[in-house]
Structure 1
């Protein structure tokens, strides 16, 4: 039986950490060790973690990124597998039990489950819940069937420890270590897998301020990985490269698609007719996967439909930061006109972001 350690990087997480640790301690297949990295917290994060009887390690100073905090804890792990869990993520009680069998295949070095939203209180949380339902019940299963998932979510990924250590630990060269390692492993001939039955609930940005921070980090990190990996990926992992190219195409064409209802009348078309076919096509492509996801997760359909309009507000934010990421990371950085995104900020309040050198 494969053994497993858990690493929970935590910076000022005293409020969210209890739910995360309680879920880890309820696992039907328990972890051999749970390690909380109290990464320069100025609140009671360390005290809260210690009260649950888990191992608490403290770097001498704030390390400034999740990957660095995870790497600080990695030498404390002597198990076959390492599960990295964000300090605001709650795992289903059977998460470890369901995800461990993926590693019966010795080629698998990273696996992650289905991420869903913990809360649906604000428009940003509701919009993110729709994105998760669509992504984890449409895009991710298709990618997994093609043996080329684009990312194993960093909030709940399990890693085979030895290959991770041999790689040099969690990658610190980009702002999104989960995508970096997922792509790197597959390009080396190893496998990444999506385990749909294993569910994790993540806390999402509660307002526009923190949605912007999270979107910028995610989109800049994606573009950093494109710059770092894409050309080498095409011959080594062509199907994965195809998903990345399709994502780039979607980013480039998204503003035009959203502008169609407004442009058509200016070109002499019928506004009512244009909006009709545009909305029909949009709903026709979006609704079936959402209804399937609602059934799969036993969610009330009315709740999903209520949240659907919020995702269109988020699209404008997503597109802005996606385009900004392409310009900054793929154009200005190579021209040495920008350093790109080097500061790791969470999608929730973080009083002391630290630059990545």
Structure 2
């Protein structure tokens, strides 16, 4: 009926200074999808060829967990650089104590992309990895994510599987179902056709030389990871999705945090469509996916939010059944993914929250389209969730 998964579901940071619980990394191997025999294990990037970049602003509750999960990898990086973007809560000191190098600019860079580019200027390794400061990794996530880059020089970037670290509030539960659907159905399909819609900003690896040639992470949109991914495609590079490489971010736990995140995502998606549409038209699969997502964002959201309620009043209340008509189709991939994780009960209990979240998705997408396209008022300020 309407967009089941936000076009920018490959998430951005969701800052949450009150919920920095240490993640139990012993669960990671159980949680990771079963590895397909022989895939992503042939070549291994040497540890001294990788630098991990972690942008952080007021992430004292989680940054140490992130750094420790990176340093504890089967393939630990040569360097871990945390960009303490003028935090006020001791983020830099905690990151340094956990084992990271810390860069602190004289003033806040104003965006995640700005912070990442600050670190990129100091990277000397062949590969660069970007990880959010609220994200922990499965023990072999880096090794698995780097394999496609080591195997194929045409691959500019690789992204992994995303699972929310906490699943308790309605918003976390909605995002949990959204991710299971996206990363077990949509993303593998996109990878099959060679065009993942986006290399997720919370956990992706890049060939450093190609990243620099693309200008690093652009600050011209509020969705720098989508902008970079589409730029790679237009330059003839490939991006891979590696489902075995799993990361665990902290997702927004209330409407305030969720609203700020969805505002960035929605405006960022519209901004990237306006910026790149001429460049992606010659790319059949990508242009089709983006076109369908754009139409869905407008038409389906209007139907979902306005047409159905009006018809329910004018014609019959039974019209409201259309809100859940596609639930069986959603349940199949979600429950299959949940079964592999031993979380069928959690998935079933979270479906109502997903229906709430996709309604809110529609509201923010329509607001972004109205602001960006009709009013010509682009979102220029990067809100980090505070």
Alignment TM-score, normalising by the size of structure 2: 0.84
Question: Which of 334, 339, 345 does residue 290 from structure 1 map onto?
Answer: 334
- Superposition deviation, residue 30 in structure 1: 0.8
Aligned-partner Cα distance in 2 for 1:179–1:65: 15
Aligned-partner Cα distance in 1 for 2:305–2:266: 19
- Superposition deviation, residue 50 in structure 1: 1.1
Aligned-partner Cα distance in 1 for 2:221–2:271: 6
1:300 corresponding residue in structure 2: 343
Let me know the Cα RMSD of the aligned residues. Answer: 1.6
**Deviation digits for residues 55-95 of structure 1, max 9, x if unmatched?**
11111111011110010011221111101000001111111
Gaps of 5+ in 1: 350-357
Aligned-partner Cα distance in 2 for 1:260–1:71: 44
Question: Which of 9, 20, 25 does residue 66 from structure 2 map onto?
Answer: 20
- Superposition deviation, residue 113 in structure 1: 0.2
Question: Which of 213, 217, 227 does residue 180 from structure 1 map onto?
Answer: 227
- Superposition deviation, residue 46 in structure 1: 1.1
Q: Where do 1:68-147 residues align within 5 Å?
A: 68-103=114-149, 104-147=151-194
- Superposition deviation, residue 49 in structure 1: 1.1
- Superposition deviation, residue 265 in structure 1: 4.6
Aligned-partner Cα distance in 2 for 1:266–1:213: 32
From the superposition, tell whether residues 206 and 186 of structure 1 become closer, same or farther in structure 2 (CA, over 3 Å): same
1:342 corresponding residue in structure 2: 380
1:254 corresponding residue in structure 2: 301
**Deviation digits for residues 208-230 of structure 1, max 9, x if unmatched?**
11111000000000011001001
Aligned-partner Cα distance in 1 for 2:231–2:280: 9
From the superposition, tell whether residues 332 and 276 of structure 1 become closer, same or farther in structure 2 (CA, over 3 Å): closer
Q: Runs of at least 4 residues of structure 1 off by over 6 A?
A: none
Aligned-partner Cα distance in 1 for 2:217–2:268: 14
**Deviation digits for residues 218-254 of structure 1, max 9, x if unmatched?**
000001100100122102x121011111101211213
1:323 corresponding residue in structure 2: 366
- The aligned length equals 338
Alignment TM-score, normalising by the size of structure 1: 0.90
2:55 corresponding residue in structure 1: 9
- Superposition deviation, residue 275 in structure 1: 5.0
Aligned-partner Cα distance in 2 for 1:188–1:313: 38
- Superposition deviation, residue 268 in structure 1: 4.0
Aligned-partner Cα distance in 2 for 1:42–1:258: 40
Aligned-partner Cα distance in 2 for 1:261–1:230: 31
Q: Is the 8 A contact 1:227 1:329 kept in 2?
A: no
Secondary structure, aligned partner of 2:326 = helix
2:203 corresponding residue in structure 1: 156
Gaps of 5+ in 2: 1-44
The 10-residue stretch of structure 1 (48-57 or 220-229) with the greater mean CA deviation from structure 2: 48-57
From the superposition, tell whether residues 141 and 291 of structure 1 become closer, same or farther in structure 2 (CA, over 3 Å): same
Higher relative contact order (Cα pairs below 8 Å, separated by 6+ residues): 2
- Superposition deviation, residue 314 in structure 1: 1.3
Q: Is the 8 A contact 1:224 1:330 kept in 2?
A: no
Aligned-partner Cα distance in 2 for 1:52–1:36: 11
- Superposition deviation, residue 346 in structure 1: 2.2
Aligned-partner Cα distance in 1 for 2:302–2:184: 25
